[in-house]
Amino acid sequence: MRLTVILPKTDYIVGEHRPARLILRNESGMTLAFGATPPTTPGAVRLTLIGPALSGGASAPWREVSSKALSHALAARTGSRGRLAPGQSIESTIALHDWLPVTKPGRYRLEASLLHAAYPVVSSPVEFDVLAPPLCPASLGCDIAGPEGSEVLTTWLQEVAGQRMLMTRVFHETRDGQSLTAGLHGAARALGAVAPGTSEALAPWSNDPARISSVSWLVWRNGASLMALAEPATMTGPFRFDLEEPPARLVRPPLQTAAGELFIPVISARGRELRLIAFRSASDATHVTPGWEIGRVRLRGAPVASRATLQPASLGNGVSVVLIEPSPHGLEVHHVRTSGLGRFSRVETTHLRGLSALPDSEPGLWIDASGRLRAAVLALSSKAPRQLVLAEVTHRPDGRLGPPARMTALGELPCAPRSALVRPHPALKHAGALTWAILLEDGRLLGPGTSGAPMWTRHPVSLPLELYLGQGAYILTRDPVRGPVFEPLRSTRPTGSSGG
């Protein structure tokens, strides 16, 4: 009898999906019989892991593992008893990250044992390394106008064993007693290596909360090339569109629709042109098709902030992009959008006099069921440079300017800002209610939930800023071991805070 444990690779990050494949093979000359399914009789498989903080080893609960492992497969063959003929083998896969999670980097050793009185067997140990490599900025994707508490996808690039990998992780809100936390749901997954020089990965926002489409996209950029992943593409053969030169920036977020479309707004290298690139796929697609350019718009000057969003699918999946540009007397808010005829054009410019832009800032956008767009911008007063102002601009369903912009004073900043963003709540029941966050130069974080007192996060805040809005509000931070994690946007300072 031989028991073998196989791992698909030898290098992981903390919290990554780690499937262990177990193979039990009868190498004797006779048929081997097993008793009834545990726990009433022997025959269970035990997994033992030894590594950092597990010097004595840790074993997965044999009762639980056996229900997923070889003994379960054996018993399922003939009901209460199982038989394994000479030369026959049985395979099973166990989610090792669920049964034996690891929280510290280092080298680990895993072995499996079959607990059977007549023919016990222990596998040869296999070793793997858990790494804590540096990570690149993370991007958050979610559903627009979906139910409250919808899962959100985070993607980022991470150096693992000399290769830059595209990583993903799903978060959702969980309840711990009476408190809510942005808990982890599932494990991080390494989708594959990207080419050297890849600089950013982006998760799209979707207007398909009902999941009508089975197409799900991810985006990354390598120099002047935009790459996109969805069926039937692979990491080595992705969807691709080549620009003439590396862009100044990709407007966040990419946008995906129920029709399987992906839209990526791009600001050109010199910041004087906005282009809209598109891809399309379907669940039954058999070939990777080239991306194409929908259109481009000349810009008066280089924008200092931008954001994109989608109309509801019932209105035609129109794309709206808002650009913030400094002017001699304040700020200009440009609204660029697609029309029903497929054109991509600027439809309106709003002048916000007496305001100046925050550094590395991002506006918040919300399109309601009628097609009305609301853009919210955090800015500073030109007369009082520490005075924070929230400016809200509304556009009618035809894209034209609605009522005059609304200005709300939010108080004075305690020190210089480093980065800022506004986010409308994506859940339909909240109808775009606004939350904002400002990262200060000293590493503290200011928001409406911090009661006017900046907060310290336990880990450094991830840049560009990302907020997850569920029943609570959470800021994305960078745990040096676990990677991207969410922390509540609140006024209390956690014990052992890093100070940002």
405 found inside a domain: no
Q: Domain containing 119 — which CATH number?
A: 2.60.40.10
104 found inside a domain: yes
pLDDT tens figures, 221-266: 999 999 999 999 999 999 999 999 999 999 999 999 988 999 999 9
> In angstroms, what is the C-alpha Rg of the chain?
26
Average the pLDDT over each of 6-15, 107-116, 372-381 and give the range with the smallest value: 107-116
Looking at residue 121, its pLDDT comes to 87
Looking at residue 183, its pLDDT comes to 64
Beta-strand pair 361-362/2-6: unpaired
Mean pLDDT throughout 27-38? 68
55 found inside a domain: yes
Q: Which of 329 and 342 is assigned the larger pLDDT?
A: 329
498 found inside a domain: no
Cα dist. 44→76, 247, 358, 421 in Å?
A: 13, 57, 61, 53
Structural domain tally of the chain? 1
Domain interval for residue 91: 2-131
Cα dist. 40→43, 45, 63 in Å?
A: 9, 14, 10
pLDDT tens figures, 271-324: 999 999 999 999 889 999 999 999 999 998 899 999 999 998 888 899 999 999
| Residues 428 and 147 sit within 8 Å (Cβ to Cβ) | yes
110 found inside a domain: yes
117 found inside a domain: yes
Looking at residue 74, its pLDDT comes to 42
93 found inside a domain: yes
92 found inside a domain: yes
pLDDT tens figures, 101-124: 888 899 999 988 887 777 788 999
In a 10 Å sphere around its CB, with 0-12 CB exposed, 13-18 middle and 19+ buried, how is residue 210 labelled? exposed
